[in-house]
Structure 1
Amino acid sequence: MTDLALVSTFCPDRVGLVSGITGHLFELGINLRDATFAALGTGAEFSAVCELPESLTVAEVEASLTALPVLARAQVKVTPFTFDPIPGPHALVTHRIEVSGGDQPGLVARLSEIFTQFEANIVRLDAQTLPDRAGERYSLRFSVSIPAEHAATCLAAVANTAEMLALNCKTESL
């Protein structure tokens, strides 16, 4: 059986970061499973569940990544992945929801509470402060798994909350 590892990096954002990391992992014979990348301010975060060949240890992967020029000044961590790598039913995205407008402190907490109330699981979350003609615009994108029996009421609650806060709300059923 192939060993699984979680590869996590955090460093200054730069062009070629994803290709540098993933190309290096490929050269080591590592297969990527679930992976994410995000620019966070002027930093960037990459995480991936990886299948390591039997001949490679997590320590060797971490050492080789740390030596990469593209990961200069990076925090690199490689640890054994002990969870089941096959996503469960709560990871199946059924809806995408985007809420945007002026920044509202507590908005992520408020919307995530609505999802919890309707037994919906947040699979992905992306929040950004974006430049806008009027100053700044806050944009939230959720990919969620909502049980079919709660979908209509959950989406209505999210839309009502957005309307109450004078925010735009778009939903997409998959």
Structure 2
Amino acid sequence: MAALALVSTFCPDRVGLVSGITGHLFELGINLRDATFASLGTGAEFSAVCELPDTVTVEEVEASLSAQPELAGAQVKVTPFDFDPVPGPQAFVTHRVEVSGGDQPGLVARLSEIFTQFEANIVRLDAQTLPDRAGERYSLRFSVSIPPERVDTCLAAVANTAEALSLNCRTEAL
């Protein structure tokens, strides 16, 4: 099996980041496994579990990525990945939950506690402050793995919490 590495970058957001990073990794013979990209304010973060060919070290990947023009001024970190790269059953997304409305301090903590209470695993989380006609709208999107026997009560608890906070809630079973 190929060596595994976690490639992480953080830099100012700009057009061409994903193609620059992934194109360079491809040129090095690196295969991407799980990967994420997000704009965070005016910054951007890319992370990926990568399969390195035997001829490439984590140090070489870090040095070569750091030299890429798209990553000028970036924080680049490449480290060995010691976890199993094959997702377990808790990484299988069963539902998407979106909660939106006015920003509520502690909202992410409150909703994530509900998921924990019902033994639901958060697989992905995306939170954004978005402009709208009334000023700003906060949008949270959770991709979760909920045990089948807890789906109804878990989603009801999330919906009730959103309603109590005057937020919109939408769920989707996958």
What TM-score results when the alignment is normalised by the length of structure 2? 1.00
Q: 2:55 is matched by which residue type in structure 1?
A: S
Could you tell me which residue of structure 1 aligns to residue 71 of structure 2? 71
Q: Secondary structure at the match of 1:166?
A: coil
Could you tell me which residue of structure 1 aligns to residue 158 of structure 2? 158
What TM-score results when the alignment is normalised by the length of structure 1? 1.00
Q: 1:69 is matched by which residue type in structure 2?
A: P
Identity across the alignment (%): 86
Q: Secondary structure at the match of 2:39?
A: strand
**Which aligned pairs between 1:21-60 and structure 2 lie closer than 5 A?**
21-60=21-60
Could you tell me which residue of structure 2 aligns to residue 8 of structure 1? 8
Could you tell me which residue of structure 1 aligns to residue 62 of structure 2? 62
Per the TM alignment, residue 160 of structure 1 is displaced from its structure 2 partner at its CA by 0.2
Per the TM alignment, residue 120 of structure 1 is displaced from its structure 2 partner at its CA by 0.2
Question: Structure 1: which 5+ runs fail to align?
Answer: none
Write the deviation string for residues 84-125 of structure 1: whole angstroms up to 9, x where unpaired.
000000000000000000000000000000000000000000
**Which aligned pairs between 1:92-171 and structure 2 lie closer than 5 A?**
92-171=92-171
Q: How many residues in Structure 1 have an aligned counterpart in Structure 2?
A: 174
Q: 1:168 is matched by which residue type in structure 2?
A: N
Write the deviation string for residues 133-172 of structure 1: whole angstroms up to 9, x where unpaired.
0000000000000000000000000000000000000000
Q: 1:13 is matched by which residue type in structure 2?
A: D
Per the TM alignment, residue 66 of structure 1 is displaced from its structure 2 partner at its CA by 0.3
Question: Structure 2: which 5+ runs fail to align?
Answer: none
Counterpart CA distance in 2 for 1:106 and 1:40 is 19
Write the deviation string for residues 41-91 of structure 1: whole angstroms up to 9, x where unpaired.
000000000000000000000000000000000000000000000000000
Q: Secondary structure at the match of 2:104?
A: coil
TM superposition outliers: structure 1 runs of 4+ over 3 Å:
none
